[in-house]
Amino acid sequence: MNLSTIKFNKLLRGGFFLLTALLLSMPAMAQEEAAESQDNDEERIAKELANPNTTLGTFAVPIDFIQYSGTLNGANQQFGVVANFQPSLPIPLSPGLNLFVRPLIPLVISQPIYGDGGFEQKGVNLGNISADIAIGKTWPSKTITIAGVFGGFPTATDEQLRSKFTTMGPEFMVAQIFKWGVAGVMINHAWSLNTLDPVEATQMGMHSPLNMGLAMSAGMGSPMLPASMNGERASITAGQYFYTVNLKNGWQIQGQPTFAYNHNGAKGSRLTLPVGTGVNKVTRIGKMPIRLSVQYWHYVAAPEGFGPKGQIRFQIAPVIPLPW
């Protein structure tokens, strides 16, 4: 086992043990203060947070530990760590109708970049910020639909991590609330608003793993967009399928894997598709409800040259009061 893999495994174990300790200790602390009534309240909040058209405000902080693989020399020894900050403050327009404005701010803690000398790890940097604006509607049948637009912006502080494209496109979501939980899918498509000259497009394809077909979504409707390998524009269909199974006392089984298809990518580097599942727990820190979760995604399709193999996502999402 090489040194990079050992470091990656240590990070995963450390994060897993930390989250496990939080999951086990916080309910015990809360139980001393409240007992059964609080458990019922946590269960109610957990169900409401599973609703894509919820009126609860949250500040989600997902942290992704990603292990890569591929045919490039050294690809199987690479790993990355990305933390994202995504506030969601729904604005109620009328009963069952809400407006969502959701920025996604990534902090790249560690990311492998492929250059002329092989792979190198980039340290802490701001990533490419994206945001969406959407309207959600809950129908009498408990079907939920969301439609909106989103954009991606080249804001990364490291040039090799910075996207060369400014992107924009529509997004659509449909979900159904069942007695046991929620299931749904969100699809979006992004086109670049700018073009590159052929030389610049070729250089991107040579030096950045983000432009070798790696298209990973970090949060609902907010893809990290690779460049085209065969052209000077970006055209990406991305999305997320999700499900939640409600258990007792604020526990849930949940999966939210994200996928992407790069229409202009090279053959063998177009589809990125994981399967995944995980567990949530809603508890409290003082009086503040907070959702803790961990998920594992296994990639059944990824770019051949360099792409994700497995991913563990830890997430902390406190419920925050709305300013309106």
Residues 6 or more apart in contact with residue 179 via CB below 8 angstroms: none
**How large a percentage of the chain has pLDDT more than 90?**
69
What whole-number distance in Å separates Cα of residue 76 and Cα of residue 68? 6
- Tens of pLDDT, residue by residue over 212-248, are 333 443 333 333 444 444 457 889 999 999 999 999 9
pLDDT in tens, 272-285: 999 999 999 999 99
- The 10s digit of each residue's pLDDT in 51-71 is 999 999 999 999 999 999 999
Spatial CA neighbour of 50 closest among 223, 183, 220, 188:
183
Report pLDDT for 227: 40
pLDDT at position 208, please?
45
- Where do we find the tokens 């995980």? 278
pLDDT over 80 (residue 199): no
Looking at the predicted structure, is the pLDDT value of residue 15 above 90? no
> For the chain, what are the domain ranges?
3-289+301-320
pLDDT tens digits, one per residue of 82-126: 999 999 999 999 999 999 999 999 999 999 998 888 999 988 999
Name the pairing type of β-strands 271-285 and 118-122: unpaired
Q: Which tokens belong to 5?
A: 């893999």
**E strands in the chain:** 57-69, 79-88, 91-94, 97-115, 118-122, 125-126, 130-138, 143-152, 167-177, 181-192, 235-246, 251-255, 258-262, 271-285, 288-301, 307-320
Decide: pTM greater than 0.75. Answer: yes
Residue linked to tokens 């050294």: 74
**pLDDT reading at 315 higher than 50:** yes
DSSP 211: G
Name which of 41, 87, 67, 19 is nearest 279 in CA terms.
19
Token pair, residue 201, equals 């497009």
Alpha-carbon span 314 to 40, nearest angstrom: 24
Look at phi and psi of residue 213 and say left if phi exceeds 0, alpha if psi is from -120 to 50, else beta.
left
Residue 289, strand partner residues: 284
Residue 317 burial (C-beta neighbours within 10 Å; 0-12, 13-18, 19+)? buried
Under a CB-based contact definition with an 8 Å cutoff, are residues 200 and 152 in contact? Answer: no
The mean of the pLDDT values for the chain is: 84
Residue 78 has pLDDT above 60, yes or no: yes
Q: What is the mean pLDDT of residues 285-292?
A: 94
Q: Which residues, at least 6 apart from 230, have a Cβ–Cβ distance to it below 8 Å?
A: 264, 265, 266
CATH 2.40.128 holds for 3-289+301-320 = yes
- Pairing state between β 235-246 and 167-177: unpaired
Is-contact 211 205, C-beta < 8 A?
yes
pLDDT for position 269 = 87
The letter for the amino acid at 110 is: S
Share of the chain above pLDDT 70, in %: 77
Q: What is the structure's pLDDT at 207?
A: 37
pLDDT for 63 equals: 97
